[in-house]
């Protein structure tokens, strides 16, 4: 009859080996995914700034900081946020909670916008830190199931420009999850899903964000 302690030891070693292999495989998978997203985005980055610095934050986030960004931007950060594929159990729970790969762009403008807007899709898993406050703002008209609010007294033309930007981004990407505009930094924040079409031009996404930033700087 097999020794019980030997069986336990064997199972423990097998489990540890499985965890290590899944972590290594998931990490490499995420690195490939992240690098693919960066290669897709690379041709459009000169619209935002001439140079970037890149760093990985663990294996699930890669961050690009624009050096000396172009007008109307003062600071621009682009993050590729990936599913936690390196930890299978966490990945399972994350996917059940709606987490998917996405791009986040945060920008501070040289001139703060007068408008404040929060637009969030039903599937978004990152909400505003001041979500309770923005829920008290008057609702504004947005397409589909988007919950959108703006500070009282917002200029209708500026709100319409934000709505058009959302629609353009939705067409150019795999879907917009959040568009946030604030008078305090970061002035502009966009969360969107990458397009499922690897041939989709990234310039449409970046041009839309730049055009919106220009409009907000004028408002």
> Taking residues 55-70, what's their average pLDDT?
94
Residue 144 pLDDT class (50, 70, 90 cuts): confident
Identify the three-state secondary structure at position 154.
Answer: coil
Q: Which of 182, 160, 178 is nearest to 169 (CA)?
A: 178
Burial of 147 (0-12, 13-18, 19+ CB in 10 A): middle
In terms of residues, how long is the chain? 219
Mean pLDDT of 20-38: 90
Phi, psi of 93 (to 5 degrees): -65, -40
- How many other C-beta atoms are found inside a 10 Å radius of the C-beta of residue 75? 16
From start to end of the chain, where are the E strands?
49-57, 61-69, 73-81, 102-109, 117-120, 147-150, 175-181, 188-193
pTM of the complete model beyond 0.85: yes
CA 113 to chain CA mean position, Å:
21
pLDDT of residue 2: 63
For the stretch 64-119, pLDDT in tens is 999 999 999 999 999 999 999 998 889 999 998 889 999 999 999 999 999 999 99
- pLDDT-wise least confident of 17-21, 33-37, 187-191, 192-196: 17-21
Reported as a pLDDT band with limits 50, 70 and 90, residue 11 is confident
Greatest CA separation found in the chain?
81
The full DSSP string for 171-214 is: HHSSEEEEEEE-SSSS-EEEEEEPPS-TTS-HHHHHHHHHHHHH
């Amino acid at each position: 009859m097999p020794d019980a302690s030997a069986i336990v030891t064997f199972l423990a070693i097998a489990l540890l080996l499985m965890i290590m292999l899944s972590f290594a495989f998931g990490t490499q998978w995420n690195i490939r995914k992240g690098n693919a997203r960066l290669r897709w985005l690379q041709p459009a980055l000169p619209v935002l700034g001439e140079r970037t610095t890149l760093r990985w934050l663990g294996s699930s986030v890669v961050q690009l900081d624009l050096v000396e960004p172009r007008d109307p931007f003062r600071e621009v950060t682009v993050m590729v946020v990936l599913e936690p594929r390196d930890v299978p159990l966490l990945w399972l729970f994350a996917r059940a909670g709606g987490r998917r790969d996405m791009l986040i762009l945060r920008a501070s403008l040289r001139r703060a916008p007068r408008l404040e807007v929060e637009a969030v899709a039903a599937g978004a898993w990152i909400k505003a830190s001041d979500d309770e406050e923005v829920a008290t703002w008057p609702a504004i008209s947005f397409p589909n199931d988007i919950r959108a609010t703006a500070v009282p007294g917002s200029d209708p033309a500026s709100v319409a420009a934000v709505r058009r930007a959302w629609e353009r981004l939705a067409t150019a990407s795999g879907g917009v999850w959040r568009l946030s505009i604030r008078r305090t930094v970061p002035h502009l924040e966009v969360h969107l899903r990458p397009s499922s079409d690897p041939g989709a031009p990234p310039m449409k996404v970046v041009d839309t964000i730049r055009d919106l930033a220009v409009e907000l700087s004028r408002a």
